[in-house]
Amino acid sequence: MLKLRSPSQQEQILSLAMRQIEKMLKEMQTSGKDLSRLKLKKFQKTHHIDCKCKLCENAKTKNDLRLRGLLEDGFKVYVAGEKKNTQ
């Protein structure tokens, strides 16, 4: 994860992300998708189940796979039963 130095940098990144999401939704709408049943769901992609890093070993001993090393955050867009992954 990036260490941000100022609140203005955080605002710039958030603004950029919101513009990209808005652009993606407009493209979906122009391609004929019905966005009335739109759902966004956050997800986290973690290390592979066979990873031997310290975080993954700790998760295995505690039997809690949510503690594995985090690779990336993202969100999934669901429209009328279809699934589309976005990062």
Q: Examine the pLDDT at 23 and tell me if it is beyond 90.
A: yes
Which among 66, 64, 87 is positioned nearest to 77, based on CA atoms?
87
CB atoms near residue 56 (< 10 Å): 19
pTM: 0.52
Dist CA 74 CA 61 (whole Å): 27
For 39-71, write each residue's pLDDT tens digit.
Answer: 888 877 888 878 888 988 988 899 987 788 877
